[in-house]
């Protein structure tokens, strides 16, 4: 049987980054990526679905120098983010967080970012194998540590001293692998099951008429469709092509929606929650339908995305889990639930958790992994979990109020954006919002945002 030092399941940003640092630390590191076909990549590669926005301070969290990112990855610099409620909006031109990157952020080509991260790993000597997925993992205690046997779908077996799970928010391998260390009634398969904790995302690549293409901003419409963390967005790419997409909870029932008539993307004759493609069509109709024939003037760009200009994807809008590091195992990125529970940004935290896990797996110091990722990205996770908590049951009116307050706070922030008690006090309703955010942060302080604790694993 083949033996390796560090095996990595999944070759997205988390997996490639783990392979890169593991190989750099001298380990024999192998990535197993099942391989997903995309219109915009020759041959199968990692999944690479992403609206693909990067904010200034995320580069610091990734621990990447922007100068190292190849030009072909960056599609367009942006000046800010627009948040649009049913009738109020706000345009933020600063994240309000210190960053070394000089600018608000940029939109990037996700497949090219993933391909670059793969090259970085291979340059360090990692072996990146694409085309056959991992079917299952068996972990057994051996010689005072653990050994992990991976069986691939083609029957090939590999044994590894350390395992990094980077299979993304679908967690098809993460859940059963963690189940080996959890009591049956507390299993990961139940606690992390997609319908319980995950959302579905859908996006289309559309070519916009030049006169309405907003190339300087990413835009989010909140309070336009029902559901927690449910919102459509537009991200400008190259030329006048934008990704138009949305995220929404899996399996929502229209009967559970209070005041469906308040949502601009629902229709009186809906008998169920619309599908992703229908939501995208309705958004474009609402925004441009008076002056344009949406299907004709905003055509889908079929040469991009996973299939004819579209992509569908699971996404874990949830809290992160700790890893059973005593079993020489680390879970990273989307698989560990590090993707933001509020805005779905997650590539940066996948890269960082991957880097930490890979290096420690190679050094044999995985026992420090949970503490180190909290130190590196804990403030980002806390911020996102707290905001998600505050806005969890917001309806359209709450979003309008919040954007009005945010605009007033912005006006009080000397041209930038910073949330302080003093700035909040300058907006009517600002202190209430500020207090709710502070309370949520307090509730989740000291890592209380963690969904599965290391102490729960039986290792
Ligand atoms: C629609 C959408 C928009 C988003 N927008 C943004 C954004 O603008 N900015 C941002 O930073 N983040 C965004 N995110 C989040 C971001 O995509 C994720 O946080 C990030 O991809 C997580 O990286 P990862 O490596 O952990 O997982 P993934 O990128 O999901 O990679 C996991 C890999 O594992 C492979 N795999 C799965 N199972 C197996 C198996 N059994 N065997 C072998 N391989 C397997 C998959 O093929 C995949 O390539 C968005 C997500 C979605 C869905």
DSSP string, 44-73: -B-------EEEHHHHHHHT--GGGS-GGG
* Ligand 1 pocket member 10 (CB < 6 A): yes
pLDDT value at position 438? 92
Residue length of the chain:
459
pLDDT value at position 317? 61
Structure token pair of residue 142 = 């051996």
* Ligand 1 pocket member 333 (CB < 6 A): yes
Confidence of residue 144 (pLDDT cuts 50, 70, 90): confident
Mean pLDDT score, 172-200: 87
Cα of 452 vs its chain's centroid, Å? 19
Q: What is the mean pLDDT of the chain?
A: 93
* Ligand 1 pocket member 81 (CB < 6 A): no
* Ligand 1 pocket member 315 (CB < 6 A): yes
Q: Helices 369-391 & 396-411, crossing angle to 10 degrees?
A: 110
| Higher per-residue confidence, 39 vs 315 | 39
Give the model confidence (pLDDT) of 385-395 as tens digits.
999 889 988 99
The Cα-based distances of 459 to 110, 142, 164, 306, 335 in angstroms read 37, 12, 16, 39, 20
Confidence of residue 194 (pLDDT cuts 50, 70, 90): low
Answer yes or no: is pLDDT of 331 > 80.
yes
* Ligand 1 pocket member 14 (CB < 6 A): yes
Going by alpha carbons, the residue nearest to atom 17 of ligand 1 is 50
pLDDT value at position 416? 66
* Ligand 1 pocket member 359 (CB < 6 A): no
Using CA atoms, how far apart are residues 308 and 298, in angstroms rounded to an integer? 15
pLDDT value at position 412? 77
Give the model confidence (pLDDT) of 416-458 as tens digits.
666 777 777 777 778 888 899 999 999 999 999 999 999 999 9
Note whether 322 and 366 are within 8 A (CB): no
* Ligand 1 pocket member 172 (CB < 6 A): yes
Give the model confidence (pLDDT) of 357-403 as tens digits.
999 999 999 999 999 999 999 999 999 999 988 998 899 999 999 99
Which ligand 1 atom minimizes the distance to the CA of 336? 26
Confidence of residue 167 (pLDDT cuts 50, 70, 90): very high
Give the model confidence (pLDDT) of 82-101 as tens digits.
999 999 999 999 998 999 99
Going by alpha carbons, the residue nearest to atom 31 of ligand 1 is 12
Percent of the chain topping pLDDT 70: 98
CA 212 to ligand 1 centroid distance, Å: 30
Nearest to 119 by CA among 27, 11, 38: 11
* Ligand 1 pocket member 36 (CB < 6 A): yes
Q: Which range, of 171-175, 268-272, 404-408, averages the lowest pLDDT?
A: 404-408
Mean pLDDT score, 32-46: 94
Answer yes or no: is pLDDT of 155 > 70.
yes
DSSP state of 36: B
CA 346 to ligand 1 centroid distance, Å: 8
The answer for residues whose C-beta is within 8 angstroms of residue 438's C-beta and 6 or more apart is none
CA 299 to ligand 1 centroid distance, Å: 26
Structure token pair of residue 166 = 């980077």
Give the model confidence (pLDDT) of 213-266 as tens digits.
999 999 999 999 999 889 999 999 999 999 999 998 888 899 999 999 999 999
pLDDT value at position 5? 98
Stated as kind and residue range, the H or E segment containing 204 is strand 199-207
Going by alpha carbons, the residue nearest to atom 35 of ligand 1 is 10
* Ligand 1 pocket member 34 (CB < 6 A): yes
* Ligand 1 pocket member 334 (CB < 6 A): yes
* Ligand 1 pocket member 337 (CB < 6 A): no
Confidence of residue 44 (pLDDT cuts 50, 70, 90): very high
CA 169 to ligand 1 centroid distance, Å: 7
* Ligand 1 pocket member 168 (CB < 6 A): yes
Q: Which of 110, 350, 354, 381 to mutate to test the pocket of ligand 1 (most atoms within 8 A of CB)?
A: 350
Answer yes or no: is pLDDT of 344 > 90.
no
Q: What angle do CA 137, 140, 142 make, to 5 degrees?
A: 140
Nearest to 248 by CA among 283, 287, 275: 275
Answer yes or no: is pLDDT of 49 > 90.
no
């Amino acid at each position: 049987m083949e033996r390796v030092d560090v095996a990595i399941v999944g070759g997205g940003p988390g997996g490639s980054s783990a392979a890169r640092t593991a190989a750099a630390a001298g380990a024999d590191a192998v990535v197993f990526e099942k391989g997903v076909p995309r219109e915009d990549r020759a041959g199968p590669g990692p999944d690479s679905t992403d609206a693909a926005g990067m904010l200034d301070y995320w580069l610091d969290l990734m621990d990447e120098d922007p100068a190292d990112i190849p030009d072909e990855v960056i599609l367009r610099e942006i000046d800010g983010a627009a948040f649009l409620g049913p009738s109020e909006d706000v345009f933020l031109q600063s994240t309000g967080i210190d960053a070394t990157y000089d600018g608000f952020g940029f939109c990037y080509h996700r497949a090219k970012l993933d391909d670059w991260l793969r090259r970085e790993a291979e340059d360090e000597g990692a072996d990146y194998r694409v085309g056959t997925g991992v079917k299952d993992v068996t972990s057994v205690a051996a010689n005072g540590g653990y050994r992990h046997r991976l069986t691939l779908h083609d029957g090939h077996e590999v044994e590894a001293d350390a395992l990094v799970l980077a299979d993304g928010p679908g967690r098809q391998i993460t859940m059963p692998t963690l189940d080996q260390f959890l009591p049956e009634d507390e299993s990961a398969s139940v606690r992390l099951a997609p319908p319980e904790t995950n959302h579905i995302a859908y996006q289309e690549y559309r070519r916009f008429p030049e006169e309405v293409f907003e190339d300087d901003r990413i835009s989010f419409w909140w309070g336009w469709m029902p559901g927690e963390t449910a919102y459509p967005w537009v991200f400008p790419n190259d030329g006048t092509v934008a990704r138009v997409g949305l995220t929404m909870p899996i399996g929502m029932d229209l009967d559970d929606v209070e005041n469906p008539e308040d949502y601009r993307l629902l229709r009186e004759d809906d008998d169920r929650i619309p599908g992703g493609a229908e939501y995208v069509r309705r958004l474009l109709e609402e925004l441009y339908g008076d002056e344009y024939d949406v299907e004709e003037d905003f055509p889908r760009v079929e040469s991009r995305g996973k299939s004819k200009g579209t992509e569908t994807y699971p996404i874990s809008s949830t809290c992160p889990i700790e890893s059973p590091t005593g079993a020489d195992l680390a879970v990273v990125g989307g698989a560990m639930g590090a993707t933001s529970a509020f805005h779905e940004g997650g590539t940066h935290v996948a890269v960082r958790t991957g880097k930490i896990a890979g290096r420690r797996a190679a050094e044999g110091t995985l026992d420090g992994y949970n503490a180190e990722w909290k130190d590196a990205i804990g403030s980002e996770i806390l911020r996102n979990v707290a905001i998600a908590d505050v806005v969890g049951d917001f309806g359209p009116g709450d979003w309008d109020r919040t954007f009005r307050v945010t605009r007033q706070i912005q006006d009080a922030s000397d041209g930038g954006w910073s949330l302080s008690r003093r700035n909040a006090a300058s907006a009517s309703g600002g202190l209430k919002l500020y207090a709710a955010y502070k309370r949520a942060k307090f509730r989740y302080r000291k890592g209380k945002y963690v969904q599965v604790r290391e102490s729960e694993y039986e290792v």
